[in-house]
Amino acid sequence: FQDAVQICRRLGVSYLWIDSLCIIQDDREDWLEQAKQMGDIYENAITTIAATSSSRSSQGIFGTTERRFMAEEMEGYDGIYIRQQPPHWPSNGVSTLDNSSDWPLLQRGWTYQEIRLSPRTVHFCTQEVIWECAATRKSESGTDDQDFGADFEAGDYHEDIHCGYIPYSVLEQNDLRGLWWRTVLEYSGRNLTYESDKMPALAALAQRMLHLRGNDRYVAGLWEQTLVQDLTWMKNKPAKGT
């Protein structure tokens, strides 16, 4: 938490929201009340600080970067810096949707909608910092959205699910179906400590999707107008609590 305070001070941000401190622990009533506001909190944040490679809060946010990954000026070439590009996953790209990585934060179910609804997220990873927003995703090593190939969808996702970015009329019904199916695919591969959190951890995204789908009805992770198609799923891999 001290690392997060330090980041806010350097950014000139006066307020910091930390779920484990701002939600009364072991108080079910307060948790239910705060869970309703989770989407608004992340959606209206200046930025979300993500300790992406940390497995627990006591581990801290900042990692120790190996010297080979630190930029150094080339001798005889003023203003030109070189560094080794850290190994990324999958292949040579960086995906904040991939739950198969060794980055603990991206394996957690609750963080899925937090990152998807945040207007901008700063990922503090083992060897570098990664910036993600509705327009692009960039890393310190120089990898950006152009290097992710056809699979890069962060900007499209933010625009589609975030009601403020585009008029509802722009989205066709088929686009909304595909968007929700992709949401379920990515979310269901993540882990939850409590199985009872399965619906609440996706509720904010469902609320925004309901606003886009108009007179459709949300039914426990499925949609009434596409219920038959929504039920045609198959198991990909086991996940704890999902």
Q: Specify the pLDDT at position 33.
A: 85
The pTM assigned to this predicted structure is 0.73
User: pLDDT 10s digit of each residue in the chain, 242 long?
Assistant: 888 999 999 999 999 998 888 888 888 888 888 888 888 999 999 999 998 877 776 677 876 666 666 666 667 777 776 666 665 543 344 455 555 466 788 888 888 888 888 999 999 887 778 888 877 788 776 665 544 433 334 445 555 554 433 444 445 666 788 888 888 888 888 888 888 888 988 999 998 888 888 889 999 889 999 899 988 888 776 655 54
Please report whether residue 25 resides in a domain. yes
Please report whether residue 107 resides in a domain. yes
Q: At 3, is the secondary structure helix, strand, or coil?
A: helix
Please report whether residue 164 resides in a domain. yes
Say if CB 34 and CB 22 are below 8 A apart: yes
CA distance 187 to 198: 10
Nearest Cα neighbor of 120 from 49, 70, 171 is 49
Q: Which domain holds residue 169?
A: 2-230
Please report whether residue 242 resides in a domain. no
Q: How many domains does the chain contain in total?
A: 1
